[in-house]
Structure 1
Amino acid sequence: MSNCDLICNAEYQVPVQVYNPPVSKWKSLKNRRLQNWGGIVHEKGLLPQELPPWLKKVTEKVSEESGLFPSTINHVLINEYLPDQGIMPHQDGPAYYPVVAILSLGSAAVMDFVPHPSLRTSPDTSGGGCEDNELNGVSDSGSDKWLNNHRPFSVVLMPRSLLIFKDDAYSSYLHGIRDSSIHQYDGAVNECEAVGPQPPSVSEEGDEAVSSGNGKCIHRTGTRISLTCRLVLKVHHKLFKF
């Protein structure tokens, strides 16, 4: 797993191309809205569409500089999160090559990684649903035990950062972002990056990283844009036949 700056200072702001498409290009979900680029992903593969030039430039840079994809990235989801929005813990599924690159722009956020429920060795006694319990318990109180030393962990998604995860982080963990305007990052694997050389500002949107009685927190005040870049290996240039 790596987490580094991809966009230089001159490209600090969210690209205007994100908001150039018509409203119909956006798909509104319960806790965010998104744009789908690259084609339709189906269980049988990808029915491809050409990426716009600006996105192609981004994906080529990610592919070349990471060296982790066997061929050029061909699918991108652009997600827009308001300050109190997130995404439930999930895995990306078998259609994709098992490497994910997430470029973060705008507001900062914390992404939680929780071992897959199949790796839990102690029963869940909290009485809630599986997904909610995983996010609420990401700090790991010690009541849960996990196989093969798997433990929950968090990553601070800083503006302009590129998070890439693969291998065990892809196949054995769920990842998600809490539906909250305040994100705690105590113990995050890149905790020191949340403050940086000039605290407390951590994003161009005016977010703040502060310490309080509840621990170290990021107060999300602006919109976060993420570009989730992935590779679908099976590509079909003709319509699927059933």
Structure 2
Amino acid sequence: MANPHKTSAELEEYVVKDAPPTVYYVPAFITEAEEAHLLQQVYRAPKPKWTQLSGRRLQNWGGLPNPKGMLAEKLPDWLLTYTEKVSALGAFAGKTANHVLVNEYRPEEGIMPHEDGPLYHPTVTTISLGSPTLLDFYRPVDQTQTGVLQTEESRYMLSLLLQRQSLLIVQGEMYEHYLHGIRGVAMDTLTEHVANLSLAGGHVGEVVPRTTRVSLTIRHVPKICHTNLLLGRK
């Protein structure tokens, strides 16, 4: 059986060693010009492409994953360039990314701790545009500790600093067993709990203001529906 977490050797220098396996953080994965081009394409998307959620808005590209399988849609060329670039690193064990969520977070917007679930190959990759942010990780609620109050604060484990133009790859134990979220704050204060501080060029005590951030969450959906199956044909 193929290793679902096998990546190219060139990623080894980007392993975040102070986090559980496995996290890769690649600073300056894209150039400033590429970042500007991507942001331009994101905001050129037609208004109906945006979905407004509590705390953020998003665009969905590639299809809508569901337990019965995703009816795949062709990705636009401006995204294909980067899904292929990320896939070439072996992030999806030789498979090619086929799904992208574009999330926009304004200052003081975030997302509650959550898991990405079993619909995807057990890897998530993220290119950050426009603004840095902290991505926080949490232990799941321990169902055996019924008499203990388990808050977000008590389950907090570590953070990752995501700078503009960087690539984050999360897989293995880190993907499958921990929750991740973004606090709804206007600025982040870096602490010793930021596991990739040196890789991301930060230092303890630094205050990092947030502006509007756009993330490209690039994934592989292994279960694809074909039109004839959806219509009940054989």
Shift of 1:13: 2.5
* CA 1:74–1:193: 2 relative to 1, 3 Å: same
In structure 1, distance between residues paired with 2:230 and 2:148: 42
Moved over 6 A (4+): none
Question: Sequence identity, in percent?
Answer: 41
Shift of 1:108: 0.5
Q: Find the partner of 2:55 among 31, 36, 41.
A: 31
Letter in 1 for 2:196: N
In structure 1, distance between residues paired with 2:147 and 2:197: 30
Q: Find the partner of 1:219 among 205, 209, 221.
A: 209
In structure 2, distance between residues paired with 1:57 and 1:4: 17
Worse-superposed segment, 104-113 or 62-71: 62-71
Worse-superposed segment, 178-187 or 11-20: 11-20
Shift of 1:120: 7.5
* CA 1:8–1:119: 2 relative to 1, 3 Å: farther
TM-score of the superposed pair, with normalisation by structure 1:
0.78
For structure 1, which runs of at least 5 residues remain unmatched after alignment?
140-151, 197-208
Corresponding pairs, count: 206
In structure 2, distance between residues paired with 1:185 and 1:124: 29
In structure 1, distance between residues paired with 2:196 and 2:168: 11
Find the residue that maps to 2:89 and give its secondary structure: helix
Root-mean-square deviation (CA, aligned residues, Å) is 2.3
Find the residue that maps to 1:59 and give its secondary structure: helix
Deviations 1:65-117 (A, max 9, x none): 24443311011000000011011100011111100001111110000111111
CA contact (8 A) 1:108 1:157 kept: yes
In structure 2, distance between residues paired with 1:3 and 1:42: 29
Structure 2 equivalent of residue 160 of structure 1? 165
In structure 1, distance between residues paired with 2:147 and 2:190: 26
Deviations 1:26-77 (A, max 9, x none): 0000100000000111111111100001101110000002444331101100
In structure 1, distance between residues paired with 2:165 and 2:147: 39
In structure 2, distance between residues paired with 1:170 and 1:52: 27
Structure 1 equivalent of residue 197 of structure 2? 191
CA contact (8 A) 1:113 1:173 kept: yes
TM-score of the superposed pair, with normalisation by structure 2:
0.80
Is residue 219 of structure 2 the alignment partner of residue 230 of structure 1?
yes
Find the residue that maps to 1:54 and give its secondary structure: helix
For structure 2, which runs of at least 5 residues remain unmatched after alignment?
1-22
CA contact (8 A) 1:69 1:99 kept: no
CA contact (8 A) 1:103 1:160 kept: yes
* CA 1:111–1:124: 2 relative to 1, 3 Å: farther
